[in-house]
Structure 1
């Protein structure tokens, strides 16, 4: 049950100090397709080129012209994400906030707006493990996640099933809970081409070897039911590829997870994470498949002033290298990183820019672009 608005005061997004050194949809809502022979070039494909996305008779068919109808089951082509036609794609969309606080921001109206008005390709559905989340009532939070994922599927968007472990930072602390969660999710969505499985949001304070070991334990749980769904693996130091703990992408490049059809995640907050982080993402994307499942234009707390100049550098790089992304976050939290103005989720107005904070206006323009 949604909390009263005055009670929605979850703690800051990240309890850490960032290091700064070193859509029924219209045809216009489909994702950017980039020919593999021309990195950075983009075209839009017509809705009359829909593919058969049903993996089995049990799959829900995507609406004509929607991102999933046009692109079907995604797969990896070397280090790039490709559609069923073998073309490199870049997904752009939003991440939810924690559903224990902001379930009321995820309605038919708000998701219609995301799919149609924003023309988003992907929704990341964040299920917090701690902080009054999944561990308190696994059945409840599984139902919530599945309800929102089903809404994304019905609109022809891709959906990221985000196991939002944050504190403790060692994903192995929640292995048994993760196995339960992903068993239920993989069973339900095995026949849907829409879903990604993000198995560890932001590992921290733990070596890459421990994160890798966790991934190699969880991935077979998913593969037992869904051999095709792409798995997203969090990286060290709050999914910074180790940069926020003094490392870099080489630890993953040199010792990748022993599994197929996986990508690695990177998170950044532009007011804290400068060119050193940007260069790390750029180098990594040339070596391993990368997906930016979370970023903000402000500080790592999800609050503070927006650094749109640095954010645009990341947007340009991700476009150039076909790195898909979801922005944090699709809620009316009081912080600057939540796209809606406070109180929006208590009403029924979702479209246009009048309900948006500056970060929301900025990111909506870049999703639509």
Structure 2
């Protein structure tokens, strides 16, 4: 899921001390901006800065300069260009977001290694004043979703810093699980084993198709949200084709309990199969953003799940949720090491490769799909992931998808109706524009997220999972009702 933090620097605002939020008051003539920590862990936190233009005249460019105390450093950012000098970090436009119209705003985010909050800041050369409430001790961890590319929720309990892996994975000895016969009339019965044909997803007959469904939240955080009744509702009430199984790697996920999480994933694969839905196994890496950090874990995990599920026709593999802060060449190298592990066990399964900039095809880091087109992954039967959050990612992202779809097989494995923080108001107009585009291009998608966390991107209202009520609209949020209405329309199989 996504990135998360908000920096609000409010113009001419005197602010009281808050333990987890640092506020800066700016001169009346300056742009407004703000900072709030909404996602943190023992060894760091995420932040998002929103630069606003309250005037009636446009701003042609902007620059935010932040100083952190010793022991804390920014190790990655999105929707901005980062330059560092000692403890000073300068953020400038990514290119497409330099101009801010009167009354408009733009946002960028970053991840800090260390717990120190900013000690000073400048916006377009104007010194910030009134800095208060900047704790340097570790804050309490709060649940949240990902940063600017796509939000991935944060853990509800503190987790230790991730540990790199060095051991070589052992060959899988798992016995394939018997395949169930899908019920007549279900997406799985209608389409069978999927494959990539050209730039499209195709069924067993070679027909171009589109799968529509939802993504879980972290399956280790919200286990009560995924009983049989929930998948029954998705299959029969929503008419969903696809269920994405989001298995976090860090943040208390696979790294902490590899056997337990692997079992949970396999159980959900079986539950989706029994209801005639496709299961998208998501290796949900987010922080660190370099998937190579988890290369050994990825090989171990995918060797096991691919061997166990090789006989099933409903499994799709997503090998890296949202790579960020690394080059496309690094992501490609990771993919070309993990894909053979899957192919050795399941030669027919489709593999989806995450893309640069939180799976934004590079757009959120100032690049584009051209780097993938000119240097594709050396493997067959693969697709490339794209993620968006409708309130944050609009026309320039849609234009990139339209262009990329002519050359690359795309799969929107995660999208939200709200901002890239995973929270905020539903942007109905932008969401519908996105879904219309995906329908037109036959791009499959999974909405984030089928969970009941108290945030804008959740499909279910808080408490819905514990109540066991999943069918109909009574348990749905505004976002859930919108997505259900779009998925329930007839499939074109």
TM-score (norm 2): 0.65
Q: Is the 8 A contact 1:127 1:145 kept in 2?
A: yes
Report the Cα distance in structure 1 between the residues aligned to 2:411 and 2:47, rounded to whole angstroms: 22
* Structure 2 counterpart SS, 1:364: helix
Report the Cα distance in structure 1 between the residues aligned to 2:247 and 2:302, rounded to whole angstroms: 12
Alignment match, 1:150 = 270
Alignment match, 1:27 = none
Alignment match, 2:467 = 347
Task: Return closer, same or farther for 1:15/1:265 CA change in 2, 3 Å cut-off.
Answer: farther
Alignment match, 1:305 = 425
Alignment match, 1:185 = 305
Report the Cα distance in structure 1 between the residues aligned to 2:433 and 2:464, rounded to whole angstroms: 30
* Structure 2 counterpart SS, 1:327: strand
Report the Cα distance in structure 2 between the residues aligned to 1:254 and 1:112, rounded to whole angstroms: 43
* Structure 1 counterpart SS, 2:387: strand
Alignment match, 1:279 = 399
Q: Is the 8 A contact 2:177 2:308 kept in 1?
A: no
| 1:124 matches 2:244 | yes
Q: Is the 8 A contact 1:294 1:325 kept in 2?
A: yes
Alignment match, 2:390 = 270
Please list every run of 5 or more consecutive structure 1 residues that lacks an aligned counterpart in the other structure.
Answer: 1-9, 23-55
| 1:159 matches 2:307 | no
Task: Return closer, same or farther for 1:301/1:57 CA change in 2, 3 Å cut-off.
Answer: closer
- CA positional deviation for 1:160: 0.4
Deviation digits for residues 98-137 of structure 1, max 9, x if unmatched? Answer: 0121111000101100000000000000100001111001
Match of 2:436 among 316, 324, 333: 316
| 1:256 matches 2:348 | no
Match of 2:324 among 204, 210, 215: 204
Alignment match, 1:6 = none
Match of 1:81 among 175, 198, 201: 201
Q: Is the 8 A contact 2:177 2:309 kept in 1?
A: no
Alignment match, 2:233 = 113
- CA positional deviation for 1:57: 9.8
Between 59-68 and 90-99, report the one with greater CA deviation. Answer: 59-68
- CA positional deviation for 1:311: 1.0
Please list every run of 5 or more consecutive structure 2 residues that lacks an aligned counterpart in the other structure.
Answer: 1-37, 49-77, 80-93, 98-175
Report the Cα distance in structure 2 between the residues aligned to 1:163 and 1:285, rounded to whole angstroms: 24
Alignment match, 1:238 = 358
* Structure 2 counterpart SS, 1:73: coil
Report the Cα distance in structure 1 between the residues aligned to 2:487 and 2:367, rounded to whole angstroms: 31
Aligned length: 326
Q: Is the 8 A contact 1:81 1:90 kept in 2?
A: yes
Report the Cα distance in structure 1 between the residues aligned to 2:248 and 2:264, rounded to whole angstroms: 12
* Structure 2 counterpart SS, 1:329: strand
Would you tell me which structure has more strand in proportion to its own residues? 2
Alignment match, 2:479 = 359
Task: Return closer, same or farther for 1:154/1:15 CA change in 2, 3 Å cut-off.
Answer: farther
* Structure 2 counterpart SS, 1:90: coil
Report the Cα distance in structure 1 between the residues aligned to 2:379 and 2:181, rounded to whole angstroms: 29
- CA positional deviation for 1:15: 4.2
Higher RCO structure, 1 or 2 (CA under 8 Å, sep 6+): 1
Alignment match, 2:416 = 296
- Deviation beyond 4 Å, 4+ runs, structure 1: 14-18
Alignment match, 2:82 = none
